Amino acid sequence: NEDRSGIYAKAARHTVDPIMEIFAQLNNAKMKRDNADPKQLDASIANLLRMAKKDKYDAYRDIIYYSAAQIALQKPDTANSIIYLTRSIKYNTVNTDYRNNSFLALADIAYGQQRFREAYNFYDSLQLEVPEKGMNDTWQEISERKESLAKLVQRIEAIEHEDSLQRIAAMPEAEREAYVKKILRKLRKDQGLKEDDASAGTATITFNNNKQEAIDLFGGSSKGEW
């Protein structure tokens, strides 16, 4: 392993091919992982991160960050792996394979940490309509896990929705009214409505004494958005 590690390190120093340099760094890190040397793994990650900042590697940043994430997982360091995988996706515009690999790694991490909603979203982001050669078993496993997560997430959201309603219902009336008004203001702001328009939904209901008809709460110069 030491001999192969030295060869990879030498190749990384002398090659003029950016891809070869990246994979030489990655394979050298794998050799050091087998020797259980976390400092060397950190050094390999640092080398890759330095490469990512250089203009000549601009087109390969997705591969560089994905490689750094793979090394971080070998330590293991899932926190930084997530950061590097996210950056790999950010800089990936054409390489579907690496994009899929990054989403799959993020999904597996989230699933292992029981962050099931995030895991489902990552699995759902995979572009694997047609399984790649040799991936039939993997694709089947991913499909089954995604289907199970979809059902689980649906139940989680239903429980959270019910819990939210019960918390609101249990509030004192004044606190509940203030909370609902706060939500209303946020919804109207998200729709691009002015703050002073929010009074439309809180106007006092009155009646005409003669006709006993309710006054139109949403009348006036501005058209309602409800």
Query: How confident is the model over 104-143, as pLDDT tens digits?
Result: 999 999 999 999 999 999 998 888 665 555 455 577 788 8
In DSSP terms, 214 is beta-bridged to 207
pLDDT band at 32 (very low <50, low <70, confident <90, very high): low
User: Could you report the per-residue pLDDT of 54-99, keeping only the tens digit for each?
Assistant: 888 888 899 889 989 998 988 889 999 999 999 999 999 888 888 9
Tell me how far the alpha carbon of residue 201 is from its chain's centroid: 36
Which tokens in the block code for residue 155? 């139940």
Query: Helix, strand, or coil here: 214?
Result: strand
Closest of 97, 41, 27 to residue 88, by C-alpha = 97
Q: Are 126 and 100 in contact (CB under 8 A)?
A: yes
Judge if the upstream peptide bond of residue 38 is cis by omega within 30 degrees of 0: no
In this prediction, residue 2 carries a pLDDT of: 42
CA 36, CA 43: separation in Å to the nearest integer? 13
The count of other CB atoms within 10 Å of the CB of residue 126 is 19
CA 155, CA 173: separation in Å to the nearest integer? 29
User: Could you report the per-residue pLDDT of 134-151, keeping only the tens digit for each?
Assistant: 455 577 788 888 888 888
Q: Counting beta carbons within 10 angstroms of the beta carbon of residue 24, is it exposed (0 to 12), middle (13 to 18) or buried (19 or more)? A: buried
CA 165, CA 132: separation in Å to the nearest integer? 45
In DSSP terms, 207 is beta-bridged to 214
